[in-house]
Amino acid sequence: MKFFVDTAEVSEIRSLAEAGLVDGVTTNPSLIAKSGRRMAEVIEEICAITPGPVSAEVTATEFEDMLAEGRHLRAIASNVAVKVPLTEAGLRACRVLSGEGTLVNVTLCFTPAQALLAAKAGAAFVSPFVGRLDDIATDGMRLIADVVAIFRNYPQLKTEVLVASIRHPIHLVEAAKLGAGVATLPPAVIRQLLKHPLTDRGLEAFLADWRKTGQSIL
Ligand code: G3P
């Protein structure tokens, strides 16, 4: 499973990349706004940190404008994946941009039917949002299960399921059990994956016993 980091905070991405935990990055207009930085500048910096796909989202809503923005974004760096919303214009833009060799991430996916349309439009990734469905008492992981099952029936579809809107480690574990290819995780959730109190306590006990021996390895 590929781990993408869902943030535009360069310091977070750099820190996690140094730990070998970054296979790609996803941003969106809200994350760019939160960074307080110019979009082109921060995307260029992120693309230099990781060779993996870096999603940069168009903000236009009409087909021709989406194409223009997508072509502008992909020119920032060779590993830019252009993100488009799952709308009719977005799917049209996805078809053209992917036909031009651009990686396209179709975002804001909330049904299996939407995911199938994104795949038929040639998307490299489709981003079903788990957390936002959970937030309205709807089973977000059911969406992932349905999309993965549908895609498995059509091996000719090359679109990867990029599980998004992840709120906690169980979303990640359940997505991995279902066989989703990619998950995009807030930095805090990635760090939560590491933690267990028994690991911490076990290490403390090992080191306490080791100190009693008076030995050192080096
Ligand atoms: O960036 C795409 C997605 O992961 C954002 O989801 O619900 O955390 O805003 P959310």
Q: What is the pLDDT of residues 16-43, one digit of tens each?
A: 999 999 999 999 999 999 999 999 999 9
Give percent of the chain with pLDDT exceeding 70: 100
Q: Burial of 36 by CB count in 10 Å (0-12 exposed, 13-18 middle, 19+ buried)?
A: exposed
pLDDT, mean over the chain: 98
Residue 121's nearest CA partner among 68, 164, 84 is 84
Could you tell me if residue 151 is inside a domain? Answer: yes
Cα–Cα separations (whole angstroms), residue 194 to 131, 197, 198, 205: 20, 10, 12, 19
How far apart CA 144 and CA 128 sit, in angstroms, is 7
Could you tell me if residue 158 is inside a domain? Answer: yes
- Please state the rounded mean pLDDT for residues 113-134: 98
Cα 211 to ligand 1 centroid, rounded to whole Å: 46
Domain count across the chain: 1
Could you tell me if residue 29 is inside a domain? Answer: yes
pLDDT at 4: 98
DSSP letter for each residue of 139-193: -HHHHHHHHHHHHHT-TT--PEEEEBS--SHHHHHHHHHHT-SEEEE-HHHHHHH
Could you tell me if residue 134 is inside a domain? Answer: yes
Which of 9, 57, 129 is the pocket-test mutation for ligand 1 (most atoms within 8 Å of CB)? 129
Could you tell me if residue 185 is inside a domain? Answer: yes
Q: Residue 73's pLDDT band (boundaries 50, 70, 90)?
A: very high
Q: Read off the CATH number of the domain in which 41 is found.
A: 3.20.20.70
Could you tell me if residue 162 is inside a domain? Answer: yes
pLDDT at 14: 98
Could you tell me if residue 37 is inside a domain? Answer: yes
- Please state the rounded mean pLDDT for residues 124-146: 98
Q: Residue 136's pLDDT band (boundaries 50, 70, 90)?
A: very high
Question: Domain range holding 46?
Answer: 2-213
Could you tell me if residue 218 is inside a domain? Answer: no
Residue closest via CA to ligand 1's atom 3 equals 165
Q: Which residue has the tokens 């996690």?
A: 16
Cα 166 to ligand 1 centroid, rounded to whole Å: 7
